[in-house]
């Protein structure tokens, strides 16, 4: 799985953090998404896909 972020489009909604807190976080200063783990374990893959699906700004791309 390859995860990429378009942080210029991030609106700081934080849905990614709620969906996959082991993989995503937000910067304190502006709420922009931060990728914590670019190679998450198998048990986190569904959560990563969910985070990409619920992102209101479509910032997260997942390639299998």
Domains parsed from the chain with CATH numbers: 1-61 (3.30.70.20)
CB atoms within 10 A of CB 12: 12
Residue 53 to residue 58: CA distance in whole angstroms? 8
Q: How confident is the model at residue 15 (pLDDT cuts 50, 70, 90)?
A: very high
Q: Is the pTM of this model over 0.85?
A: yes
Q: In this predicted model, which residue has the larger pLDDT, 18 or 64?
A: 18
Q: What's the whole-number average pLDDT of the chain?
A: 97
Share of the chain above pLDDT 70, in %: 100
Q: What is the pLDDT of residues 16-43, one digit of tens each?
A: 999 999 999 999 999 999 999 999 999 9
Q: Identify whether the C-beta of residue 3 lies closer than 8 Å to the C-beta of residue 38.
A: yes
Residue 25 to residue 14: CA distance in whole angstroms? 8
């Amino acid at each position: 799985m390859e995860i990429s972020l378009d942080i210029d489009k991030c609106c700081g909604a934080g849905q990614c953090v709620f969906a996959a807190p082991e993989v995503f976080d937000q910067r304190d200063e502006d709420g922009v998404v931060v990728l914590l783990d670019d190679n998450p374990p198998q048990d986190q893959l569904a959560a990563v896909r969910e985070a990409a699906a619920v992102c209101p700004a479509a910032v997260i791309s997942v390639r299998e």
